[in-house]
Amino acid sequence: MAFLGLAFAIIISTGIAIPAETPVMLDEYVPMRDGVLLYTKVYLPDPNIWGNGPYPTIFTATPYGIGSPGVAPATWPSEVLHGYAFVHQDHRGRNKSAGVWNRATDGKDGFDTIGWISAKSWCNRKIGMAGMSAMGIATYQTAAERPPYLLAIQPKAASGNRINTYTMESNAIELEGFLAWSAYVVPGLSPSHIASLPLTPAELAAARALYGVVSADLFSHLGAGLPVTSQYWMNLPLYDFPGLSPFLPYWNETLSHPNQDAWRDSWNIQDKINVPGLHWGGWYDIYSRGILEAYQVTQKNVGNQKLFVTSGTHGSIAKNVVSDPYFPWFDYWLKGIDITGILSEPPISYYRMGAEKWAYADQWPLPDVEEEKYYLHSNNTLSSDPPGYREASISFKYDPENPVSTMGGRNLFIPAGGLDQTSVEPPTRTDVLVYTSEELKNDVEIAGHIKVVLHASSDRKDTDFVAKLVDVYPDGKKILVIDGVVRARYRDSLKTPNLMTPGSIYEFTIELGDTNQVFKTGHRIQVDITSSNFPRRDRNPNTGHELYVIDKRTDTLIANNTIYHNAANPSYIVLPVVMEKKRIFEGEARIKTPGFTYEGPATLYTLAKGVYLYTGSRWIKWDIEKNWEQGMVEHYKCDGKLGELSVLVQGNAHASFSILATGEGIHFKGK
């Protein structure tokens, strides 16, 4: 590219001449419908390479500050190097944008900005929107407003139902992310947001001073594996939190809705989205549940959706990615370019943790899955054998002033992912119950939603129960796979709390969420039960009083909690176990059709809804119209863009399979 050795021109949009062979940046203040101006940068491609436009455009809005480009070509957005105009904007009330920040207006502001973009001479009215985390949430919110000319989205590590799938999942506050992130974003508040606060100059100065103390405490106590028990991490009540609530009114607003209600429902905007979307997630990401739910809802309502789930955390969402679909996705929808057949590949790409391999699917949960119960027994074992009638219960004390430290999982700031649980289990902790299976004689793969059902009691009116699924290695490592929580008062309904009668036995369902994990031969499956996971989850004070506004006479109480294991009151985990079925076949393909010619090695996938052929550079899809299965023989009748396809799969007693797929101009044979 000829421009790589040249200086860049930064111009204000006042008609200044554009030097040849130079990407262009425009500084703008874009007016919203209420007159508030949002600071925006527009980057245009090098006209010597991409012409003078108009260009397809990708838009991202952020609360973190859009900054300024450097002088080196590598610092410019990659979008302009691929022939896109790129629009980057500060959220309302953030950094250089005017207004008051509350996150609820992000969608409407996105709608207005896309309207502004579409009217510009450099835009060809083919617009996409993308972003990760807060920017991905803004992408969902904007798409839900259905702006004209928005043709495709690509949210990454985000949620279209943020409050219910993350901030207050299972009606327990995701304290680590909510609290530390709130402290993190205070410095980026714009002067107009600060000016809107109902504080006198003296009160503002005092609030800033207190914020400095609080944020220093919070961020200096986030070490790996260290108990987070500093003054402000342990501070109660959460409502009117010192140093934060004066700057962020949404903090108290969120805590004012401990029960599922209309306000929390209003953040669920997935049903309103009507454009194609590529949804990026990670099994250990904080928005793992949110991204999967957004895909499922929009795929059902709209179609043309893709799900891409890695093994990563929120900070490493692209972990183990073989190829990045970012530009192929936008090239298809905004440029009409389809080199790889991106819509003909299976819509779901996911990472099989434990096996350390990528796999494909066209529905989730997978079709070949059976729910199996593994029971918790009084001798601390885990097995498929139901409990006996007289199996004993086990009790433990939960002290909110000495919570179990979070060790890995779906975290934002503290260490995340599959960490070893040994340090937060017996003998170090006496308030954690551990149930372990025998060594596995074969690999066990799970794919889908996991839940734990407990029969339990407490001597308090309210408490929490936490469950963890753990992979125990032959060398003794105990790696966290996934965890969840139930708040006892919400055991029956997230909308209507119902306190317990001390001593009574209740059934509790702990939703751990979705994952994919292969427990290898020689490993063990383990379930840990306790009543805290701090600071990932806020602590239940065990008082039964109103949440988040603490009665100082009884800030917290110790709870004696009991888990039951008998036939009348069983406790167990439900695992979605993948049944072995041959769905991937390697072989040779010959394709000679008016639209495509190929001869050579290929892979054929027989999935739930379609048959997919991959040549190594291009995907071809046929929809399954009929499927017959008898004994070791299976026959698929399919139809696709290249015409009809007949697929015959035949197995034998040695679990060896062969496949033959034929159609007009198409032949595939493999095993």
Same domain membership, residue 17 and residue 123 = yes
Average pLDDT rounded to a whole number, residues 139-165: 97
- Of 213, 231, 265, the residue at which a domain comes to its end is 265
Q: Is 202 exposed, middle or buried (0-12, 13-18, 19+ CB in 10 A)?
A: exposed
Q: Which residues contact 3 (CB under 8 A, 6 or more apart)?
A: 21, 22, 23, 46, 48, 49, 73
Q: Is 209 exposed, middle or buried (0-12, 13-18, 19+ CB in 10 A)?
A: exposed
Domain with residue 42: its CATH number is 3.40.50.1820
Please count the CA atoms within 13 angstroms of the CA of 98 that sit on its side-chain side: 9
Domain residue limits at 589: 581-670
DSSP string, 413-468: SS--BS-B-GGGSTTT-SS-EEEEPPPPSS-EEEEEEEEEEEEEEESSS--EEEEE
DSSP string, 86-153: EEEEEPTTBTT--S---STTHHHHHHHHHHHHHTSTTEEEEEEEEEETHHHHHHHHHHHT--TTEEEE
Measured between alpha carbons, how far is residue 532 from residues 212, 422, 454, 510, 538 in Å? 28, 16, 15, 13, 8
Q: Is 393 exposed, middle or buried (0-12, 13-18, 19+ CB in 10 A)?
A: middle
Same domain membership, residue 293 and residue 157 = yes
**Structural domain contains residue 468:** no
Same domain membership, residue 49 and residue 110 = yes
**Structural domain contains residue 409:** no
Question: Is the distance from CB of 151 to CB of 128 less than 8 angstroms?
Answer: yes
Same domain membership, residue 225 and residue 124 = no
pLDDT digits (tens, 9 = 90+) for 183-204: 999 999 999 999 999 999 999 9
Indicate the pairing of strand 464-472 with strand 572-578. unpaired
Same domain membership, residue 338 and residue 261 = no
Element (H, E) at 661: strand 657-663
Among 169, 135, 170, smallest CA distance to 153 is for: 135
Residue 9 is predicted with a pLDDT of 30
Give the rounded percent of residues in the chain with a pLDDT score beyond 90.
85
Q: Which residues contact 5 (CB under 8 A, 6 or more apart)?
A: none
Task: In whole angstroms, give the CA distance from residue 667 to residue 651.
Answer: 19
**Structural domain contains residue 483:** no
Residue 227 is predicted with a pLDDT of 64
What predicted TM-score, i.e. pTM, was given to this entire model?
A: 0.93
Question: Is the distance from CB of 433 to CB of 424 less than 8 angstroms?
Answer: no
Same domain membership, residue 133 and residue 37 = yes
- Of 224, 245, 265, the residue at which a domain comes to its end is 265
Residue 68 is predicted with a pLDDT of 62
Task: In whole angstroms, give the CA distance from residue 626 to residue 636.
Answer: 6
pLDDT digits (tens, 9 = 90+) for 364-419: 989 899 999 999 999 999 999 999 999 999 999 999 999 999 999 999 999 999 99
Same domain membership, residue 124 and residue 40 = yes
- pLDDT, mean over the chain: 92
**Structural domain contains residue 375:** no
Question: Is the distance from CB of 374 to CB of 453 less than 8 angstroms?
Answer: no
DSSP string, 383-413: ESSPPPTTPPPEEEEE-TTSPPBP-SBS-SS
CA 379 remoteness from chain centre:
36
Same domain membership, residue 296 and residue 233 = no
Question: Is the distance from CB of 419 to CB of 284 less than 8 angstroms?
Answer: no
Same domain membership, residue 276 and residue 248 = no
Write a three-state SS string for 476-490: CCEEEEEEEEEEHHH
Domain with residue 629: its CATH number is 2.30.29
The count of domains in the chain is 3
Task: In whole angstroms, give the CA distance from residue 112 to residue 92.
Answer: 12
User: Percent helix, strand and coil across the chain, each rounded to 5?
Assistant: 20, 35, 45
Same domain membership, residue 206 and residue 79 = no
Q: Which residues contact 587 (CB under 8 A, 6 or more apart)?
A: 601, 602, 603, 604, 659, 668, 669, 670, 671
> Taken in order 231, 232, 234, 236, is the CA torsion positive or negative?
positive
DSSP string, 250-286: HHHHHHT--S--HHHHTTB-GGG--S-EEEEEEEEST
Task: In whole angstroms, give the CA distance from residue 671 to residue 666.
Answer: 17
Write a three-state SS string for 500-520: CCCCCCEEEEEEEEEEEEEEC
pLDDT digits (tens, 9 = 90+) for 23-78: 678 889 999 999 999 999 999 998 988 999 999 999 999 999 997 655 445 568 89
**Structural domain contains residue 442:** no
- Of 265, 281, 302, the residue at which a domain comes to its end is 265
**Structural domain contains residue 36:** yes
Task: In whole angstroms, give the CA distance from residue 37 to residue 99.
Answer: 8
pLDDT digits (tens, 9 = 90+) for 457-475: 999 999 999 999 999 999 9
Q: Which residues contact 185 (CB under 8 A, 6 or more apart)?
A: 63, 248
Give the rounded percent of residues in the chain with a pLDDT score beyond 70.
94
Name the 3-class secondary structure at 83: coil
Write a three-state SS string for 303-348: CCEEEEEEEEEHHHCCCCCCCCCHHHHHHHHHHCCCCCCCCCCCCE
**Structural domain contains residue 401:** no
CB atoms within 10 A of CB 148: 11
Same domain membership, residue 220 and residue 196 = yes
pLDDT digits (tens, 9 = 90+) for 219-243: 998 865 556 778 999 999 999 999 9
Q: Which two tokens stand for residue 247?
A: 């700057």
Same domain membership, residue 225 and residue 96 = no
pLDDT digits (tens, 9 = 90+) for 280-303: 999 999 999 999 999 999 999 999
- More confident of the two residues 315 and 613: 613
Task: In whole angstroms, give the CA distance from residue 423 to residue 459.
Answer: 28
pLDDT exceeds cutoff 90 at 548: yes
Least confident of 15-19, 226-230, 597-601: 15-19
**Structural domain contains residue 64:** yes
What residue type is assigned to position 306 of the chain?
K
Task: In whole angstroms, give the CA distance from residue 180 to residue 465.
Answer: 24
Q: Report the largest interatomic distance among the alpha carbons of the chain, rounded to a whole angstrom.
A: 86
